[in-house]
Every structure is written in C-alpha cells, then in structure tokens.
Amino acid sequence: QQEIDVFKPQEYWSVEAELQKNKENFIAKLIKKDEKTISKFGIKTKMGADKIVKDLKGAEYKIIDIQKKEVRKYPFPPFTTSTLQQEASHRLGFSAKQTMIVAQQLYETGLITYHRTDSLNLAETFLKTAQTLITQKFGKEYALGTPCRYKTKTKGAQEAHEAIRPSYPKKEPESIKEKLDKNQYKLYELIWQRAVACQMQPAITDATAVDIEARNYLFRVTGAIIKFDGFLKVYPTKISEIVLPPLEKSEVLKLIKLIP
C-alpha cells in the first residue's frame, strides 16, 4: 500500500504594532517576549495572539535601540531605447510600441534626441546645461562637481547617437505641457527627469533597524531614513519597502493599533 503524505498547513499568528511619529505611520513586528525570540511559529493560535494584545493594553512604546548604516543610492543612467520602453511600461503603463510611437512624435518636434539608440553618451553641451539647471533649480549641493559620463557597455553600440535626452533641458516639462497631448507630456517628463537626474548627486539614506520596547515585549522595524534626497528630488524611486520618519533613541511613539 502506497503511503501518501498529506501536507497539513501549520497555523501560526503574528502580532504587529502600527506606530506613529509626526503623523507618519509604520509597522513594527513583535520579535521577543521576556528577551526570548518569538519564532515564526511561536504564536500558534488566535487565542495566543489575542492574549498578547490584551497584555499590551495601555503600554508605552519606547525606542530602546537604533542601528544605522549609511547607504548611497546612485542615479540611473540616461535612457536607451530598451530602458525607455521598460520604464515607460513600468511607470506609465505604455506598451513598447506605444512608447516608440510617442517618442517618434517627440523626436519629430525636436524635443528629444534620436530615440533608437543603445548608447549612453551625452553631449558636452547637455552636461554643462544640466549642471547649470540643477544648481539654479535645486541648489549647488544637488549638482555634481564633475559631470558624470556613462560608458556604453553594449557591444557594437551605436556610438554615433547619444542616449535619449531632452534636446533643450531648459524646456522643463511643465513649461510645454499645453503644447503636448497627455501621452507626449508623460513621456517627455519621464525622459527629462531621467536625463537631469543622472547628473545629480546620489541620495543618502540610513538603512535602519529600530527596536521598540513595550512592557516585556520587543518590536522591531527595519527600513530607510532619507538623509539627503539627491537625484530622488527629480526622479522619485522606491528605495525601501519602508521609509521611516527620523527617529531617536528613548523616544516614545504613539500606538495607532495592534494587529494580530
């Protein structure tokens, strides 16, 4: 007789605390009780989770430890045809074909450089103009001392062409919005942002782990605290699953709710 092992899912529960600092909310996970680690399967029943919630009624949530590690996030290179298609799909929901049709329209009206390219080169005139624009618009702390020249790694790349960029970076998207249709504006804005951002300083974040004590329980949240936004000011990009507000040791946080 053949024995068949039937997989039985194991029931387990977790407890999380939704906490707030300066009207910014984040979720911390329960990791210890009485200095003993609670394993993934440590809370086996809803009754067990409900008991923890009851134990924590009226508790104070105090930060007892913060571990930080500085991380620099560098801007992405300017667009090639393939990366423009990928990002337009991801950010704008455009198909590859739609992206090329709209890019062709922008190219024909003289707003962007040639859109069929696998080169990362940028003209010296653009690099100089971008530095001036960034300094004037955002401040010199956002500009690079020396322009960033990206190297094309693709074998046999069309070096005669540049990367895809705005022909005139001083034509900011908002200033020509009324002259473009909705899709043209969206794609031009994306190209402008990416090209300008690639000549900006990196973003500086603290990869952060925060331990929060509530009675004999310990919660932890890991995320990132942005110290300097750098290129993110122009080209917002997800840097972490959780972006935390600035936090200090010994601070008491506001509990919004416990989530069993």
Would you please indicate which residues are annotated as catalytic (active-site) residues? 114
> Could you give the CA distance from residue 75 to residue 72 in angstroms, rounded to a whole number?
10
Amino acid at the residue 109: T
Q: How far apart are the first and last CA of the chain?
A: 43
| Nearest partner of 42 among 10, 81, 71, judged by Cα | 10
> Could you give the CA distance from residue 192 to residue 169 in angstroms, rounded to a whole number?
7
| Nearest partner of 13 among 43, 35, 33, 57, judged by Cα | 43
C-alpha dist (Å) from residue 79 to 40, 92, 163, 165, 252 = 43, 15, 6, 7, 45
Side-chain-side CA neighbours of 197 within 13 Å: the count stands at: 24
Instruction: Return the structure tokens found at 134.
Output: 């960034």
215 φ/ψ sector (left φ>0, alpha ψ -120 to 50, else beta): left
> Could you give the CA distance from residue 205 to residue 71 in angstroms, rounded to a whole number?
5
Q: 217 - beta bridge partners?
A: 33, 214
Q: Packing angle between helix 182-197 and helix 124-138, nearest 10 degrees?
A: 90
Quote the DSSP letter at residue 58: T
Instruction: Return the structure tokens found at 209.
Output: 């782990």
